[in-house]
Structure 1
Amino acid sequence: MIIKKRTKPIKLYKFEALFRRLDLEHPKRQIASETYAKSIAGYRGERSLDFPLSFLPEQKYHILHDLRLNDGTHFFQIDCLLLSSNFMIIIEVKNITGTLIFDSIFNQLIRINDNKDETAFSSPVVQVNRQVEQLQKWLKLQKFPSIPIEPLVIIGNDKTVIKSTEKEKSQNLSQFVLPYYVLPEKIKELEDRHTTHLLTDECHCTLSNQLLLKDTPLEFNILQRFYISESDLIKGIQCTNCKLFSMHRTYGTWVCNRCMATSKNAHLQGLRDYYLLINNTISNRQMNDFLHINSPHITKHLLNSLRFKTIGTNKGRKYVLNFDFE
């Protein structure tokens, strides 16, 4: 049973909004693009779990994707958590192409790409083992009974080659690191190992609900992250056809000055961009400035028609933006 489903991370929407409104020649665009590429690869890697997890008995496992919990000292993030009445599984997903060499001496992951270039990453084995310790600490803090927690590192790309620096340790490594398509068989192996029923059905459900309740998504300000000023953003309403920021309002319709395409609701994307990049509240004046609308009357009409919650009164009134990104 999926208790928390996987959704597209809000940070990916923020990157997409940034790229819409950042000049192609902006000095921070390249580094933002590289970070986005890593984030989208990670998301695709996590999605590789969907098929193997679909083989699990629905009532036997509670599945929670993308959890962020606090162990009392630090926050920690789990890509996927499987909870049964007998044990738990923490899954850390890596979607890295090329040849991966797990170096157990220096606790590094070394990637060799097609050009034979080597890149070092922190060890996901160390990472997932730390998550086990933190989850155990969290369970104790929440006064839940102790339950075995198994760590797994799943490689989300079936073309990735997995190796170890020490042949004698490869067998041990294979107990923790495996390609995504053998996950059902690995879970069956763990089931055979953990046969003691430790959680009642009630405790099983209570624990799942508490995990969901304590999940704390990371707040991510993308402009601050890349030291980009709000003044660097391209303002206006983007044409739904030619993608230029060249639409103006004529008789209740947005019309592109360049290609003459029309739209009734092109301003919605602009408000979403404002929400993703700047703030979750907006005033009449701020909307006028960000979307280049010359009429405060039109802006007020558009905001009121969307029935957003308001805070403040008169000139201090702001609208609380609310969008569904699933």
Structure 2
Amino acid sequence: MKIALHYQKGDTMIIRKRTKPLILQKYEALQARLPPNSPQYQAIKQQVELRTRGHQGELTVDHHFNILAPKFTIIQDACLTSNGQTFQIDNLIISPHSIYIIEVKNFRAPITFDTDLNQFTTDDGRKISGYKHPIAQVKAQQLKLQNWLYEHNQPNIPIYYFIAVSEPSTLINVIGDHEKISSIVQHGEHIPWKILDYEQKQKNHPTYQHQKIGHFILKHCRDFDKDILEEWGIVPEQLVPGVRCRKCNRVGMEKVKWSWICPRCGLADRQAANHSIDEYLMLVKPWLRNKEILNFLNISSRYAVSRLLKNHPNLHYSEKRRRWEKKVNGFNKRYTLRSD
């Protein structure tokens, strides 16, 4: 069946584009500031590697979905709350007939779906490892999204799901019902065509205002967040103090005139201190006092710290609480550390 796509310049409908996840930003900052001999260091390093690989896989699959953007409404990295529980969805593609959930998996080793035992495993040649079953995961997302739409008086639009394997070189094996798995699991490049095939079959079904539904969902989306210091039993005093270099991750940049210089790689960065203040707000708590940031940045001059805080673009001083706080409109809801 041949399906024609018509593109119009400026007609893209990706209403929430993927950025580096807040949790990944936190783990990267934590790894850089945690002494290598800390008991949690290797586990934190592994979290950075796993989450980086997952993010890279999502970006790879996003590229394939660009073909759908002119006609559908796409939300990347949706995070919603239903019945007091937060749930994440890698991709929501909303069409005039349906909502499609696409969960992305990035595995280099061959993967195996066993429909007889409901198992999902990988085999890297040295050992076979079991993981949470992706189909059970995406089915739970489907149910949570259905409940969320019901709670918010949204249309009872059909919801389908797929699992996109990001690496085209990853071998997908099946033990048991091949047809069941192949109807859900595909390499990322094939998912858009499965969606278009579904749409063709539903062309006589009821239609919905996909832009309106998409923007309603977008209004309620938040970045997934959690306190990773508390989760790993790490106290702020364990973190290495100093201004961190964003190029080589060395903590301990030196102030030279109007800039900060990294003694390891030579990077000159005028915004390095502001970036490290942002890390404190992200890792420790969303407010601070002069003494706390003086210790965190390892700066001896109270005047220098006071000037940094006064000039920080996203902070204001609360006379009532006698502390520095994030401006209400100073931070985008999608918290990404500045790269300028």
TM-score by length of 2: 0.85
Structure 1 residue 245 displacement after superposition: 3.9
Which residues of 2 match residues 253-268 of structure 1 at below 5 A? 253-254=259-260, 263-268=269-274
SS of 2:304 mapped into structure 1 = helix
Per-residue CA deviations over 1:105-144 (Å, capped at 9, x if unaligned) read 33221111132x1111121112112222222222222222
Aligned to 1:44: 56
Q: C-alpha distance in 1, partners of 2:217/2:271? A: 38
Aligned to 2:65: 53
Q: Which runs of 5+ in 1 are unaligned?
A: none
Structure 1 residue 253 displacement after superposition: 4.7
In the alignment, which of 87, 103, 106 is matched to residue 98 of structure 2? 87
Structure 1 residue 278 displacement after superposition: 1.1
> What letter corresponds to residue 103 of structure 1 in structure 2?
D
Q: C-alpha distance in 2, partners of 1:69/1:242? A: 35
Per-residue CA deviations over 1:267-319 (Å, capped at 9, x if unaligned) read 12321221222122221111111112112111111211224442432992324
Q: C-alpha distance in 2, partners of 1:110/1:230? A: 37
- Number of residue pairs the alignment of both structures matches: 320
In the alignment, which of 219, 223, 226 is matched to residue 225 of structure 2? 219
Q: C-alpha distance in 1, partners of 2:205/2:20? A: 35
Aligned to 2:156: 146
Aligned to 2:203: 195
- Percent of pairs identical after alignment? 28
Contact 2:111 2:120 in 1 (8 A): yes
Q: C-alpha distance in 2, partners of 1:260/1:9? A: 28
SS of 1:98 mapped into structure 2 = coil
SS of 1:234 mapped into structure 2 = coil
Per-residue CA deviations over 1:72-120 (Å, capped at 9, x if unaligned) read 35332211011011111110111112121112233221111132x1111
Q: 1:12 to 1:256 in 2, by over 3 A?
A: closer
Aligned to 1:285: 291
Q: C-alpha distance in 2, partners of 1:67/1:245? A: 33
Q: C-alpha distance in 1, partners of 2:248/2:210? A: 52
Q: C-alpha distance in 2, partners of 1:247/1:96? A: 37
Per-residue CA deviations over 1:167-209 (Å, capped at 9, x if unaligned) read xx10221001111121222122111221135344xx3222111
Which residues of 2 match residues 311-322 of structure 1 at below 5 A? 311-313=317-319, 316-320=322-326, 322=331
In the alignment, which of 157, 170, 173 is matched to residue 178 of structure 2? 170
Q: C-alpha distance in 2, partners of 1:247/1:195? A: 60
SS of 1:145 mapped into structure 2 = coil
What do you get for the CA RMSD once the two structures are aligned?
A: 2.6
Contact 2:275 2:337 in 1 (8 A): no
Q: C-alpha distance in 1, partners of 2:248/2:197? A: 54
SS of 1:269 mapped into structure 2 = helix
Q: Which runs of 5+ in 2 are unaligned?
A: 1-12
Contact 1:107 1:122 in 2 (8 A): no
> What letter corresponds to residue 134 of structure 2 in structure 1?
P
The answer on 1:180 being equivalent to 2:188 is: yes
Per-residue CA deviations over 1:22-65 (Å, capped at 9, x if unaligned) read 1122211101111222211211111122222112250x200001
